[in-house]
């Protein structure tokens, strides 16, 4: 990764060529740098969400052949400049429990972390019953917490 970045950053390129003691290429250091950058980005998103009037959340769950399941969380909002922003928040491991209760609890917890649960007006998921179920799906459970939050189905069609 660092060598790839060096193609676009002269300072990084110089560092990788001339450093004799510390190059910062170990996986641990790279992971720490990724975590640091991610924290700064999330703090900026949190600041923007606190300024916006309302926002929506988009969730999608995917599993691989080993049954490892990840839930991606994306938020959409209008920033203070009037621009529509769509920001990826995180991947969450939902392998242990993919029930509507567990996923809705996770969604509410994530949004509480951003201090903006009261601004949630829309939620969008795929057509899976666990997500879109009218009585006990994630959308219904989230709506019980955020009464003005409407649900929109993101149905994918195959060609």
CA dist 50 and 113 (Å) reads 11
For 21, half-sphere exposure in the C-beta direction (CA atoms, 13 angstrom radius) is 0
- Mean pLDDT (whole number) for 32-44: 88
Domain segments of the chain as ranges: 1-15+24-51, 53-159
Tell me the pLDDT tens digit for each residue of 93-130: 999 998 889 999 999 998 888 888 889 999 988 777 78
Tokens 């769950």 -> residue: 61
Write the Ramachandran bin of 17: left for phi over 0, alpha for psi from -120 to 50, otherwise beta: alpha
Of 114, 124, 106, which is closest to residue 60 (Cα–Cα)?
A: 124
Contact between 100 and 136 (Cβ < 8 Å): yes
Residue 155's SS3 state is: coil
Architecture of domain 53-159: 2-Layer Sandwich (3.30)
- Mean pLDDT (whole number) for 146-157: 73
Q: What is the pLDDT of residue 158?
A: 46
Tokens 């399941």 -> residue: 69
Quick one: what percent of the chain has pLDDT higher than 90? 34
- Mean pLDDT (whole number) for 42-48: 92
Least confident residue range of 19-23, 48-52, 109-113: 19-23
The pLDDT mean for the chain works out to 84
Backbone angles phi, psi at 89, to 5 degrees: -95, -55
Q: What is the pLDDT of residue 19?
A: 80
Of 2, 118, 119, which is closest to residue 54 (Cα–Cα)?
A: 119
Q: Return the CA Rg of the chain.
A: 19
Instruction: Let me know if 107 is exposed, middle or buried by CB neighbors in 10 A (0-12, 13-18, 19+).
Output: buried
Q: Indicate if the pLDDT at residue 11 is higher than 50.
A: yes
Least confident residue range of 10-14, 38-42, 58-62, 105-109: 10-14
Give the chain's count of helices (H) and strands (E): 6, 5
Residues in the chain: 159
């Amino acid at each position: 990764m660092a060598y790839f970045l060096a193609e676009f950053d002269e300072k990084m390129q110089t560092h990788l060529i001339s450093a004799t003691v510390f190059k910062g290429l170990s996986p641990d250091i790279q992971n720490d740098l990724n975590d640091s950058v991610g924290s700064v980005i999330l703090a900026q998103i949190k600041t923007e969400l606190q300024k916006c009037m309302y926002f929506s959340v988009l969730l999608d769950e995917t599993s691989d052949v080993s049954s490892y399941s990840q839930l991606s969380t994306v938020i959409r909002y209008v920033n203070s400049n009037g621009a529509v922003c769509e920001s990826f928040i995180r991947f969450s491991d939902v392998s242990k429990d993919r029930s509507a209760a567990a996923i809705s609890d996770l969604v509410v917890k994530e949004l509480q972390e951003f201090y903006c649960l009261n601004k949630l007006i829309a939620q969008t998921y795929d057509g899976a019953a666990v997500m879109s179920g009218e009585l006990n799906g994630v959308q219904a459970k989230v709506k019980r917490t955020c009464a003005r939050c409407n649900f929109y189905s993101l149905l994918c069609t195959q060609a």
